[in-house]
């Protein structure tokens, strides 16, 4: 059994705004092993970014709060450790790549300085020359000429900016990389390049990665395991084969796959999932998916489904609960 790097148990996160409370994450369980690439799939508003921010404790002050649950990163109790401890972890043991490269870089500092910053923060004993050497290394690694290290972010294209962000995130060889839709804001052709590069880097540095995306194609090409997130909880989890091929999948997952247009078949209309993602400040009772589910049963409206596990595959759905743990209908 591989080592567990990240363990999230029953995590709940709320946002307290003027307009009310938003229940972004509700009882989330997740595990990531060392060196594993986990794809986290879900629509906008499912709570994926919130979960990632919670791991680094970067939720907006005063508004975002972890109300329940535990997060263990390599044994460290993230929820309860001190801020000083967290600062040692951020950028070092675990780092994050954000969604929008256009706004993630400080416009008035050179890219070289911004990469150097994360190195200086976690390598206080190193000399300036050593740090600069490493900056050059990282830039080359992400495919940018080190001569450009004194340029400013606005002098780079979107794809190049994202590479800089990746360089910053990987500079201190973190054990866990949180990539929040790293290619969504980029052209499709650049997407491919960047993901390819990330795969290579991951191999080289042996980091574990949580790749947040809404694109199942990206998952297929890059991930070992997949977790499906809906309304703040993980409703399905397994290896890529389980999620893509198993017959016993959560109706939401089935719906996601069905809504992908198929180039080989002649169809007139797309098949989206009926209805909308629920309002996180006003979640439905019972199973949060029940009002959109084609297989909704009476108990779904009032009772939360339990996690049913079969080998590497977990589903939270009343459909599969019938005969107990290992037998799945």
Which residues lie near other proteins (CB under 8 A)? Answer: 17-18, 56, 58, 60, 62-63, 86-92, 95-96, 98, 100, 103-110, 117-118, 121-122, 147, 150-152, 154-155, 165, 168, 275-276, 278-279, 282, 284, 291
The least distance separating other proteins from the CB of residue 89, rounded to whole angstroms, comes to 7
262 burial (CB, 10 Å; 0-12 / 13-18 / 19+) is: exposed
Sheet containing 307-310, strands listed edge to edge, beginning at the edge strand earlier in sequence: 94-97, 176-180, 208-213, 37-41, 225-230, 233-239, 313-316, 307-310
The least distance separating other proteins from the CB of residue 6, rounded to whole angstroms, comes to 16
Closer CB to other proteins, 217 or 272, in the complex: 272
Question: 42, 41, 43, 50: which is closest to 22 by C-alpha?
Answer: 50
The least distance separating other proteins from the CB of residue 8, rounded to whole angstroms, comes to 18
Contact between 236 and 314 under an 8 Å Cβ cutoff? The reply is yes
Closer CB to other proteins, 154 or 196, in the complex: 154
Quote the tokens at residue 293.
Answer: 């589910």
- Look at residue 255 and give its three-state secondary structure: helix
Closer CB to other proteins, 161 or 249, in the complex: 161
Closer CB to other proteins, 32 or 169, in the complex: 169
The least distance separating other proteins from the CB of residue 109, rounded to whole angstroms, comes to 8
The least distance separating other proteins from the CB of residue 264, rounded to whole angstroms, comes to 35
Closer CB to other proteins, 150 or 157, in the complex: 150
Q: What is the CA angle 240-173-191, rounded to 5?
A: 50
Closer CB to other proteins, 261 or 294, in the complex: 294
Closer CB to other proteins, 275 or 311, in the complex: 275
Question: 5, 22, 39, 328: which is closest to 180 by C-alpha?
Answer: 39
The least distance separating other proteins from the CB of residue 132, rounded to whole angstroms, comes to 16
Residue 147 CA neighbour count, 13 Å, CB half = 1
The least distance separating other proteins from the CB of residue 266, rounded to whole angstroms, comes to 32
- Look at residue 221 and give its three-state secondary structure: helix
Task: Report CA torsion sign: 320, 322, 326, 329.
Answer: negative
């Amino acid at each position: 059994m591989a080592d567990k790097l990240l363990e999230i148990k029953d995590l709940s996160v709320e946002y307290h705004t003027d307009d009310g409370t938003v229940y972004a994450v509700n009882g989330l369980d997740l595990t990531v092993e060392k060196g594993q690439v986990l794809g986290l799939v879900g629509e906008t508003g499912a709570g994926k970014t919130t979960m990632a921010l919670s791991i680094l404790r970067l939720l907006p002050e005063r508004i975002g709060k972890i109300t329940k649950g535990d997060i263990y990163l390599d044994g460290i109790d993230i929820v309860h450790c001190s801020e000083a401890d967290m600062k040692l972890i951020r950028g070092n043991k675990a780092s994050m790549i954000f969604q929008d490269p256009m706004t993630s870089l400080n416009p008035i500092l050179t890219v070289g300085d911004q990469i150097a910053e994360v190195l200086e923060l976690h390598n206080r004993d190193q000399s300036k020359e050593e740090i600069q050497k490493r900056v050059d290394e990282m830039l080359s690694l992400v495919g940018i000429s080190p001569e450009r290290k004194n340029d400013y972010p606005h002098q780079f294209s979107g794809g190049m900016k994202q590479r800089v962000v990746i360089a910053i995130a990987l500079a201190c060889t973190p054990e866990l990389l949180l990539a929040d839709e790293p290619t969504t804001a980029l052209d499709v052709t650049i997407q491919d390049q960047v993901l390819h590069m990330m795969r290579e880097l991951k191999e080289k540095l042996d980091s574990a990665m949580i790749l947040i995306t809404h694109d199942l194609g990206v998952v297929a090409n890059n991930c070992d395991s997949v977790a499906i997130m809906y309304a703040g909880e993980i409703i399905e989890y397994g290896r890529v084969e389980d999620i893509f091929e198993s017959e016993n999948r959560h109706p939401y997952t089935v719906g996601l796959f069905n809504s992908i247009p198929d180039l080989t078949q002649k169809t007139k209309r797309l098949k989206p999932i009926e209805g909308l993602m629920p309002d996180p400040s006003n979640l439905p009772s019972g199973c949060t998916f029940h009002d959109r589910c084609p297989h909704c049963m009476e108990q779904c409206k009032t009772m939360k489904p339990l996690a049913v596990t079969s080998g590497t595959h977990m589903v939270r759905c009343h459909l599969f609960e019938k005969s107990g743990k290992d037998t799945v209908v």
